[in-house]
Structure 1
Amino acid sequence: MPAIVGVAQVISIGSSAVFNIGDVYKIMPVSNAKTFSGAGSFNTGDGLNVYNNRSSTNTYDSDGVDQGNYFNA
């Protein structure tokens, strides 16, 4: 069904955002990220005590490409 759209003003839009006006069949924004974090990084709560005496995070990545977003159209 056709859409009649009036005036639209976009001030800013993010790099991984989707802006749509009117009819649409499928919208699939695609992004990927790699996160390195050490021990106790994502702990949340009140009165939390984390003891990491000798902790290190290995950020070495020998492969050039991880699982990609291929064929996500």
Structure 2
Amino acid sequence: MHPEQQANLDACVRKGFAIRLSKKRAKASDVLAAVDKLLRDKKAKTAVEKFRGQLAEWNGPENAASFLKEHYG
């Protein structure tokens, strides 16, 4: 996994809507259990809905274009 992917996963775990599993040690049953746990977790649902709203307000393409124009002309 690339460093930015690890950072993104860590952020999702901190926000409460992801579970980190060991790539080397996780079995299919661990993945299924994690998915089941998150689907039943009301706090995780609330957290992911909040994050989805934040992403909807963030205009990624426009922000990227502004950054590039500002820093590189």
Q: TM-score range by the shorter chain?
A: under 0.3
Structure with higher Rg: it is: 1
TM-score, normalized by length of structure 2?
0.24
Normalised to the residue count of structure 1, the TM-score between the two structures is 0.24
